[in-house]
Amino acid sequence: MSMLPIDLEWLALGVAGAVAVLFTGLWFYLWLYREWTLPFRNVDGPKPSHFLWGNISEIIKAGPDMQHSVWRKEFGLTYRYRVLFGSPRFYSADPVALSYILGHTDKFPKPPQMRKNMADMLGNGVLIAEGHDHRRQRKILNPSFSASAVRDMIPVFYDKAFELRDKLVSLIEDDNLAAIAAPTPAKPEDVVPGARKIDVLKFLGMATIDVIGIAGFNYDFRALHQPRNELAEAFRDMFSAGQNLTVMGIIQALVPGADLIPTKRMRTIWASQATTRRIGKRLIEEKKKAIRQQHAGGLEKGDDIGTDMLSLCIRANMAADLKPDQKLTDEEVLAQITTFMLAGNETSSTALTWILWQLALHPELQDRLREECQSVDDERPSIETVSALPYMDAVVREGLRLLPPAPSTVREASEDAVVPLGTPINGRDGKMIDSIRLNKGTTIFVLGGCEDAIPDGTVAIMAVNHSTEIWGADALEFNPDRFARISSDSDPEKAHIANQVPGVWGNLLTFLGGTRNCIGYRFALAEIKVILFVLMRSFTFENLPSKPEIEKKTAIVMRPRIKGEEAAGLQMPLLVKPISA
Ligand code: HEM
Ligand SMILES: *[C@@H]1O[C@H](CO)[C@@H](O)[C@H](O)[C@H]1NC(C)=O
Ligand SMILES: *[C@@H]1O[C@H](CO)[C@@H](O)[C@H](O)[C@H]1NC(C)=O
Ligand SMILES: *[C@@H]1O[C@H](CO)[C@@H](O)[C@H](O)[C@H]1NC(C)=O
Ligand SMILES: CC(=O)N[C@H]1CO[C@H](CO)[C@@H](O)[C@@H]1O
């Protein structure tokens, strides 16, 4: 009789002991063993403050760009830190290290788990594919993003820019539309006769999704005209469910196989995906049918079938005289549709949004840009004319420098690798280090629009843009004239900047660099300039008299919201006034 409780006591003690041993073992493994065996343990960085979370909470609280800038001040160009469960991360804004990482895509691909989560939604398109698949897709798509292909799309940019203009005019003129102009009603001081508080993020987003629909796959979302669209809604639902990370959602994102559990989140993703696939397949079938009718004798790779990007993909899918390494599968063609919807919409619309915001904060600069735009006689000038406007160019560069739409990205070492440094660092043991050994699986953080890259898998785009060493004491100010200053080739500052930032465009990392730079950067620049050109000639954009506090909220893309109006979601309300002719 009395034996039983004693057995239970022993059992309880045994269980408690086992749990303690397990936790000690886990702690030992995560923090001591991994530290001892870490090949880059000699690199300095912040001490993790939490057993489980490492330094992740600071990153989330301060925002990745801010937190990395703070550490950059403390630890220099190259450092390391720890995130969830003590996983080590590497960061470097050293330009030599950055170009090495971005130039060796096979050694530093996107982290496999992140790719899988993205591929579950987008399919294996050019944004997600790696290695040989990526090179093949990129080669097939490159011609549709060339300067001459982009020139062919300029009429689409103008058509949608003018539709956007008409939409804004109707929002200003029709008081009944005030409720849809912005997510929150105008405060009394923001009600100004002849003007309207308008959430420019929302309406620019309508214009850019319309543009990418037509230029990308010959599909008019008509977002500027009709309130609802099945494809757009399914796509949005899929992403908001994908990014809605409940505990179960995080488990599903991290544990292989767990995403087969039919939670509400997964069911939303599956249902939305079924819709995007159905519509995508229909678009592809319609196009194929038209091609079969036009080219009854069989399609050859030189045949002209339309300039939208999907047509070029379909040609690479159908043409009989293509080698296997020039072909795309049906699934890959389908995946490019969702890829364009993701990569081509939010980035361009937020870029324009942040530029308008800076122009609203600097009315004298806005006037200067407007005068330049008004000096052109033509309402729809050629892209050569628009590109040749010097102040327009400086404003767009400066906007993309200061507020990069995709501020950071991540890479992961797929094998043990040695990363060279341009600027040697002081190791924790006091010795100088001029190259860093990363073990397989290390995540690297790369700050994009800016100068910082983090080698635990994240690439810090935003840090480069803000560095005072690169851009001078006014690095954090919106000053388009800096580009006039450094445009002369004889200016030593120009060479200095070019040496510091291994980006594909404008000495910025905004479109990243290396072999996986943004394929759409010419497209994006032309689109941004055309829309800005039309808007500057039609409206003034002012900060609201109530001066709301804008916050940056980053989930892949950095978008604005208003402090105190978080529940209203992402927004950028400005006071928009038509220019009386
Ligand atoms: C201002 C606007 C834009 C910005 C700031 C931007 C930025 C970027 C960045 C930083 C990357 C690299 C992502 C990474 O590897 O982690 C990227 C890749 C990409 N972008 Fe853009 N982008 C913009 C507009 C566009 C547009 C308009 C399109 C399509 C029409 C586009 C299509 C792509 C694609 C397909 C990739 C993947 C390229 C590859 O991995 O080979 N982007 N973009
Ligand atoms: C992270 O790093 C900072 C140094 O910037 C340090 O003070 C802090 O204790 C570390 N831990 C966490 C959880 O942030
Ligand atoms: C396009 O971007 C805008 C602005 O960020 C966003 O409001 C809209 O939902 C996006 N559309 C789709 C279909 O993703
Ligand atoms: C996120 O998930 C929770 C729990 O399933 C749900 O209540 C909430 O509505 C979701 N939010 C969004 C934006 O999907
Ligand atoms: C625009 C922006 O994000 N600026 C920040 C850049 O980083 C510094 C710290 O190094 C902050 O003070 C700025 O607010």
For residue range 363-421, what is the model confidence (pLDDT) as tens digits? 999 999 999 999 999 999 999 999 999 999 999 998 998 888 988 888 999 999 999 99
What distance in Å separates the CA atoms of residue 96 and residue 43, rounded to the nearest whole number?
Answer: 17
**Residue type at 84?**
L
Q: Look at ligand 1, atom 43, and give the residue with the nearest C-alpha.
A: 518
Average pLDDT, the chain: 85
66 Cα to the center of ligand 5, angstroms: 6
Residue 304 has what pLDDT?
A: 67
3-state secondary structure of 307: coil
**Ramachandran region of residue 554, left (φ > 0), alpha (ψ -120 to 50) or beta?**
beta
For a pocket test of ligand 5, which of 68, 476, 549 has the largest count of ligand atoms closer than 8 A to its C-beta? 476
Token pair for 11? 């059992």
Ligand nearest to the CA of 264: 4
Residue 222 has what pLDDT?
A: 95
Mean pLDDT across 567-574: 96
β-pairing, 88-92 with 443-447?
parallel
Q: How far is CA 294 from CA 251, 282, 288, in A?
A: 50, 18, 10
Most confident listed range (403-407, 443-447, 463-467)? 403-407
Q: Look at ligand 5, atom 10, and give the residue with the nearest C-alpha.
A: 69
Residue 362 has what pLDDT?
A: 98
Indicate if the pLDDT at residue 459 is higher than 50: no
User: Is the CB of 458 within 6 Å of ligand 1?
Assistant: no
Give first-to-last CA distance, the chain, whole Å.
100
Q: Contact at 8 Å (CB) between 459 and 448?
A: yes
Mean pLDDT across 250-263: 80
Beta bridge pairs of residue 561:
551, 570
What distance in Å separates the CA atoms of residue 244 and residue 246, rounded to the nearest whole number?
Answer: 6
3-state secondary structure of 299: coil
Residue 289 has what pLDDT?
A: 87
Give the contacts of 342 (CB within 8 A, at least 6 positions apart).
Answer: 122, 127, 235, 239
* Ligand 2 pocket at CB < 6 A: 46-50, 55, 57-58, 71
User: Is the CB of 460 within 6 Å of ligand 4?
Assistant: no
Atom of ligand 2 nearest to the CA of 58: 14
Residue 186 has what pLDDT?
A: 96
Count of other CB atoms within 10 angstroms of residue 34: 17
CA dihedral angle for residue 168, residue 169, residue 171, residue 173, rounded to 10 degrees: 170
206 Cα to the center of ligand 3, angstroms: 7
Indicate if the pLDDT at residue 29 is higher than 90: no
User: Is the CB of 561 within 6 Å of ligand 5?
Assistant: no
User: Is the CB of 409 within 6 Å of ligand 1?
Assistant: yes
For a pocket test of ligand 4, which of 233, 238, 246, 272 has the largest count of ligand atoms closer than 8 A to its C-beta? 246
536 Cα to the center of ligand 1, angstroms: 26
Q: What are phi and psi of 310, to 5 degrees?
A: -65, -40
Q: What are phi and psi of 196, to 5 degrees?
A: -150, 140
3-state secondary structure of 6: helix
The secondary structure of residue 555, as a DSSP letter, is E
Closest CA relative to residue 341, chosen from 217, 240, 225, 441: 217
Percent of the chain with pLDDT over 70: 86
Q: How far is CA 353 from CA 182, 204, 528, in A?
A: 14, 7, 10
Assign 81 a pLDDT band (cuts: 50, 70, 90): confident
Q: Is the torsion defined by CA of 384, 390, 395, 397 positive or negative?
A: positive
User: Is the CB of 161 within 6 Å of ligand 4?
Assistant: no
Q: How far is CA 92 from CA 72, 322, 433, 501, in A?
A: 9, 42, 13, 12
Q: Contact at 8 Å (CB) between 208 and 183?
A: no
What distance in Å separates the CA atoms of residue 193 and residue 157, rounded to the nearest whole number?
Answer: 31
244 Cα to the center of ligand 4, angstroms: 6
Assign 327 a pLDDT band (cuts: 50, 70, 90): confident
201 Cα to the center of ligand 1, angstroms: 19
**Residue type at 23?**
F
Residue 27 has what pLDDT?
A: 78
Beta bridge pairs of residue 62:
none
518 carries a ligand binding annotation: yes
Better-predicted residue by pLDDT, 305 or 325: 325
Mean pLDDT across 427-440: 93
User: Is the CB of 341 within 6 Å of ligand 1?
Assistant: no
Indicate if the pLDDT at residue 233 is higher than 90: yes
Residue 503 has what pLDDT?
A: 67
Assign 307 a pLDDT band (cuts: 50, 70, 90): low
Residue 5 has what pLDDT?
A: 65
Residue 393 has what pLDDT?
A: 94
Residue 366 has what pLDDT?
A: 98
466 Cα to the center of ligand 5, angstroms: 7
Better-predicted residue by pLDDT, 341 or 3: 341
Q: What are phi and psi of 298, to 5 degrees?
A: 105, 145
User: Is the CB of 240 within 6 Å of ligand 4?
Assistant: yes
Residue 458 has what pLDDT?
A: 36
439 Cα to the center of ligand 1, angstroms: 28
Assign 432 a pLDDT band (cuts: 50, 70, 90): very high
Global pTM value: 0.88
For a pocket test of ligand 5, which of 466, 469, 477 has the largest count of ligand atoms closer than 8 A to its C-beta? 466
Q: Tell me the CB-side half-sphere exposure of residue 15, using CA atoms within 13 A.
A: 5
Question: Can you spell out the DSSP letters for 471-521?
Answer: H-TTTTS--THHHHHT-STT-HHHHHHHHH---SBTTBSTT--GGGS-TTH
For a pocket test of ligand 3, which of 222, 345, 349 has the largest count of ligand atoms closer than 8 A to its C-beta? 345
Residues in the chain: 581
Residue 342 has what pLDDT?
A: 93
**Residue type at 173?**
E
Ligand nearest to the CA of 71: 2
365 Cα to the center of ligand 5, angstroms: 22
Per-residue pLDDT reduced to its tens digit, 377-388: 999 999 999 999
Mean pLDDT across 142-161: 93
The secondary structure of residue 296, as a DSSP letter, is T
Beta bridge pairs of residue 426:
432
Better-predicted residue by pLDDT, 500 or 375: 375
Burial class (CB within 10 angstroms; exposed 0-12, middle 13-18, buried 19+) of 3: exposed
Per-residue pLDDT reduced to its tens digit, 204-231: 999 999 999 999 888 999 999 988 999 9
Assign 575 a pLDDT band (cuts: 50, 70, 90): very high
Burial class (CB within 10 angstroms; exposed 0-12, middle 13-18, buried 19+) of 512: buried
Indicate if the pLDDT at residue 244 is higher than 90: no
Assign 456 a pLDDT band (cuts: 50, 70, 90): very low
Better-predicted residue by pLDDT, 454 or 174: 174
What distance in Å separates the CA atoms of residue 476 and residue 469, rounded to the nearest whole number?
Answer: 11
Closest CA relative to residue 91, chosen from 48, 58, 45: 45
Residue 107 has what pLDDT?
A: 94
- 89 membership: H or E segment, kind and range: strand 88-92
Q: Contact at 8 Å (CB) between 101 and 419?
A: yes
Mean pLDDT across 272-284: 93
Q: Contact at 8 Å (CB) between 517 and 107?
A: no
User: Is the CB of 267 within 6 Å of ligand 4?
Assistant: no
User: Is the CB of 284 within 6 Å of ligand 4?
Assistant: no
Token pair for 467? 């560095």
Better-predicted residue by pLDDT, 59 or 535: 535
Residue 502 has what pLDDT?
A: 66
Indicate if the pLDDT at residue 301 is higher than 80: no
**Ramachandran region of residue 386, left (φ > 0), alpha (ψ -120 to 50) or beta?**
alpha
